[in-house]
Copies of this chain bind each other. A is one copy, B any other.
Amino acid sequence: MGSDTNARYIPDEADARKNIVELCKLLYDQGFMAGTAGGMSVKDGGVIYITPSGVQKERMRANDMTMFDTEKQQYIERPDQIYKPSACVPLFKALHQHVDAGACIHTHSINAVLITLLFKEEFRISNIENIKAIPKYTEPGNLKNTDTVRIPIIDNRHHEEELEETLIETLRKNPGAPAILVRRHGVFTWGSNVWKAKVIHEALDYLFNCAIQMKQLGIDPDGEVGSEFK
């Protein structure tokens, strides 16, 4: 029941854009991409494929993706390109570079937003089985269920690109962190491929949801086991 998401779903090059289309539709259907919120990117060889800006994520097509050449460090211009790149591009690029992410997912999950209003410096939850789905910061493998999940929270800025510096600094201070929360904004998660990023996003949102409901019931998400009955 770990999170060793399986071999079959490692995307091949041809599938990078199809995977983005499929996953964004799913994230919209699950309520994670209302309006035109959120976005994602997949790195495939020397190209990063990125969702375009201001687009309904459930209606995108493979050809709508923005493409960035990591060697030339510039966008690949195409005659049929009609959308401008997502404002998240600098952040996605930073994640692909600094944490060697194969795929990044960014959503405005309401659970994530509420968590940043309930926790100040970092989200903390412990002693929930689903914690096993979250990878350890620096060692191989996943956390134990008695470990504490820690997700750093950074403050929001006017423009996504202004978040880049804080994001990189936070990643340096928290090497191996599996995600970053942005206060009053949402969450960034990543993984070595698109499905691993999806699994982290889902498992974290489950834990955010759990923690919010625990708080509403007067239970400390990071409290000692058994303290809820005292």
Contacts and interface: CB of A to CB of B under 8 A. Distances in A.
A204 B103 CA distance: 29
A54 B4 contact: yes
A184 B128 contact: yes
A195 interface: yes
Contacts of A56: 5-6, 9, 195, 198-199
A117 B228 contact: yes
Interface string A35-49: 111110000000000
A155 to B, nearest CB: 8
B133 A37 contact: yes
B108 A206 contact: yes
Interface in A65-88: 82-83, 86-88
A222 interface: no
B110 A35 contact: no
A184 B183 CA distance: 27
Contacts of A5: 36, 54-56
A3 B108 CA distance: 14
